[in-house]
Amino acid sequence: MATTEEVTASAPVAFLGIASATPDTLLGQPELLPLDAGEQYRFGFAMDACIGCHSCEVACAEQNDTPIDVAWRRVGELEGGSFPTTRRFNLSMACNHCLEPTCLSGCPTNAYVKLDNGVVRHDADECIGCQYCIWNCPYEVPVFDQKRKIVSKCDMCLPRLEAGQEPACVGACPTHAITVEKVNVASWRADHAAADAPGMPPADISLSTTRISLPADMPPDTAAASDYRVDPEDPHWPLIGLTLLTQLSLGIVAATVATQLVGGPGEGTLAGGAAGGFIAGAVAMVASLLHLGRPTHAFKALRNLRTSWLSREVALFSAFSVASFAYAAVWRSAVRGGVPALGAAVGVVAVVLGVAGVYASGRIYLVPARPVWNSKRTLGAFFATALSIGPLVTLFCIERAQLDGGWIGVLLGASAAGTMVQLAVLAHLVSTVRRRHDRQHRGTATLLLDRFRGLFAARIALAVTGLALSAWALAVPVAGPAAAGRFGTSLVVLVLGEIIGRYLFYVTVVPYGMAANFFEKP
């Protein structure tokens, strides 16, 4: 075998006697080399030495007692060229112990730590099972453990490393394709091209430290054997509830405050809207707890305001809840003779917090690891939801007797504008996923326009119908209870559309991930 010659020769191995695959050294006890200043440990992978035996995966599972659906190391298959000069390769990957770990920066509880030796360690005790790290990691390395209700991931066999032993995968590899190496952090930051490979997301996202030595003459069409399949993601029903209700809440409160500020219907008539806004937000907060593996530890989510949009979302929505409660309370007291001016001030504070909260909420989804989410569309869609359905609820909460054509027109108009923005966002999404040829956009196109085409059509039809009902209500102004019937129908239609739309938002996103084997989800 001439082609492997360069592979191990150039590797800055961390273990003496590990990577030099000569029979003499295999029997010897490998010795872990200490790190010099500015260095960390990292994995090395020699693709042309890997025979695709999967021993590393089994050794990892045995060492770390991971449940069957929680794989810390996975071996993907790649293929390129055409018969008879077809080439097949394997990609054995675990955590890449990145220089800029996105799992760590996104984690709301600071459960991830980048240790001095470079290992990105996950602390099970601090994890609340929010799974945001899974979205953030371009490699989809952290895995949610259904039984323990938290995530877990590779720590480079830290307990072994600390004892001077090589990780289980390294020790098990029959061909020494997996190594642990030392790397100078600064020079890797400057040049990390060796972390890129077919079947891997761009290393730029998080600065993966795994050095992959590619075989000579890889066919340019080399791709993952798992690329053929595209599986819907989890719908995350609690998050559908959380996002829709927080946006609804903001929409109601904002519409109520705006109505009040411009001198809307008489005193007391906005109390219902204010209360409705608070209730929607409060229900949202409860719904979000259902998403967590360990809801009783939800308070820990406030720990990483410095870098985690999830922490910020929790903080801002909590503050928004308090402010919208105060606003509702002011309106309650206003009925008994309170001060509307104070109410307006509290309302404005609530709206500012709500806008910030929805913005933070949207930013959660702007992760490079999920390119279709990682777009201003996501923010546009979230605010459009608030605008599309919030004013209608406000309108619904105004006492029927107080309704006049003018107010109906303003609020219906606001809703229609929101709905049109929502349709524009969808149009942009469709044109983008059709235009782009990467697996992630193509995958979303397949899911949205093929697998879920019925739901997608319904989602658009509902928005258009809602819009038409609103237009009808505007075109033929009626006051009082008759009007309520019209925009009530519009509200139901639009809410249904938003629920379906949010469901599709979650299930049709295609994450990067790493090449998997034929029968596994990439």
In contact, 494 and 392? CB cutoff 8 Å? yes
| CA 463 to each of CA 62, 362, 424, 457, 466: distance values in angstroms, whole numbers, following the listed order | 52, 21, 11, 10, 5
Q: Which of these, 367, 278, 294, lies nearest to 125 by C-alpha position?
A: 294
**Virtual torsion, Cα 380, 383, 389, 394, nearest 10 deg:** -160
Report the residue number, 158 or 322, with the smaller CB distance to another protein: 158
- For residues 91 and 76, the answer to whether their CB atoms sit within 8 Å is yes
User: Between 194 and 230, whose beta carbon lies closer to another protein?
Assistant: 230
Residue 380 CB, shortest distance to another protein, in Å, is: 27
Nearer CB in complex with another protein: 74/370: 74
Write down the least CB distance from residue 231 to another protein, Å: 7
Q: Strand, coil or helix: what is 31?
A: strand
CB of 389 vs another protein, minimal distance in Å: 31
| H/E segment holding residue 380 | helix 376-397
Residue among 158 and 410 whose Cβ is closer to another protein:
158
E strand or H helix at 467, and its extent? helix 453-475
Taking the complex as a whole, the smallest distance from the CB of residue 147 to another protein amounts, in Å, to 7
Closest-CA residue to 139 (of 93, 182, 175, 80): 93
Nearer to another protein, 124 or 286 (CB): 124
Residue 225 Cβ vs another protein, minimum distance, rounded to whole Å: 8
Which of 87, 428 has the CB closer to another protein? Answer: 87
SS3 415: helix
Shortest gap between Cβ of 469 and another protein (angstroms)?
34
Nearest to another protein of 57, 140 (CB atom): 57
CA-closest candidate to residue 45, choices 204, 224, 169: 169
Work out how close the CB of 486 gets to another protein at its nearest, in angstroms, rounded to a whole number: 40
CB of 68 to another protein, least distance (A): 4
Which residue, 45, 71, 48, is CA-closest to 60?
A: 71
What's at 184, amino acid-wise?
N
Q: Which pair of structure tokens corresponds to residue 321? A: 């809840």
Instruction: Find the distance separating the first CA and the last CA of the chain, reported in whole Å.
Output: 31
| 100 vs 123, beta carbon nearer another protein | 123
Q: Which is nearer to another protein, 112 or 396 (CB)?
A: 112
| SS3 (DSSP) at 358 | helix
> Shortest gap between Cβ of 262 and another protein (angstroms)?
47
Closest CA to 268 of 328, 342, 331: 331
Run of H or E residues at 77: strand 74-80
Q: Which is nearer to another protein, 443 or 513 (CB)?
A: 443
Angle at 275 between CA 294 and CA 420, to 5 degrees: 85
SS3 state at 226? coil
Geometric angle at alpha carbon 159, from 158 and 162, rounded to 5°? 80
State in angstroms the smallest separation of the CB of 324 from another protein: 28
